[in-house]
Amino acid sequence: MRLAMIGLGKMGGNMVRRLCRGGIEVVGYDRASEVVAQLAAEEGMVAARSVEDAVAKLTSPRVVWLMLPSGDPTEQQIRALVPMLSKGDIIVDGGNSNYHDSQRRGAWLAEQGIGFMDSGTSGGIWGLENGYCLMVGGSKEVAQTMRPVLQALAPAADRGWAHVGPVGAGHFTKMIHNGIEYGMMQAFAEGLELLRGKEEFNLNLAQITELWRHSSVVRSWLLDLTAEALKQDQKLDKVAPYVSDSGEGRWTVVEAVDQGVAAPVLTLALQMRFTSQDESGYSYRLLSMMRNAFGGHAVKQAGEEK
């Protein structure tokens, strides 16, 4: 199977590597020509000079997978793709788009006879090694066509990916996933700050987080990453106490309001990130470090402008 990958950043580039190693032919394009050349040389990816060139190198049914920033960049690219495609072709949005946008785009593309899949994609910078968790929305026919690609990207052919529902369901599921993630991160950060604050015990946070990794009910991959980071640095003096949010946490809270569902933990975790923009605290340094550990998000250094 062959597909085009548009957007070869941290996630897109590593997804190309995993696909190529999994036997999927990939035509890749990015505005950074050096990235295209590197992936072509190292992984055997077919290099494209433009989006038009990438589409031209595909055979029917053509599949174009987008790994672009949500909002206008994704919207504009989908609009630009339609004249290049034919009925039966498929567009996949693997970015963190709002599920309402995905539903609207899917309906519009259906009118053009073009299939659409929204893929909530989790795994961050570790996806290349461990595989990606893929939550996809779309028709059964599109999901079946994309099955070999999803199996190559996932940790294994029979796990780590699922067709969760119609168009929009994939990004909706990922949105709630990220809201839960916010709450988990906030809980770890607050608890560890309390441990650190009990000065009379002089607790070793690296030792304790490593301890919790084994048979504790709070063991998790997030704890694994936190424990590994604390082995290197417990003070975090060089990490600015500033934690950004990607947008999905906000969308999750809005959804809770729309449904009339109480979600105080997820809501407060989001608000605490807002607070970090104005106030200092150890828990914010921990949150920033955790985001870097699992997603490669930039860590602002102490003294840098926010």
For residue 135, what are its two tokens? 């939550």
Residue indicated by tokens 């996933």: 177
Of 17, 20, 18, 14, nearest to 2 by C-alpha is 20
Terminal-to-terminal C-alpha distance of the chain:
45
Residue indicated by tokens 């919207």: 75
Which 8-state DSSP code applies to residue 156?
A: B
Strands 90-93 and 115-122 come out as parallel
**Catalytic site residues?**
174, 181
Please say whether the beta carbons of 38 and 30 come within 8 A: no
User: What is the rounded CA–CA span in Å between residue 235 and residue 229?
Assistant: 11
Burial-class residue 163 by CB neighbours within 10 Å (0-12, 13-18, 19+).
Answer: buried
Helix (H) or strand (E) holding 3: strand 2-6
Of 205, 188, 186, nearest to 196 by C-alpha is 205
User: What is the rounded CA–CA span in Å between residue 233 and residue 290?
Assistant: 12
For residue 4, what are its two tokens? 């085009």
User: What is the rounded CA–CA span in Å between residue 78 and residue 93?
Assistant: 9
User: What is the rounded CA–CA span in Å between residue 254 and residue 234?
Assistant: 35
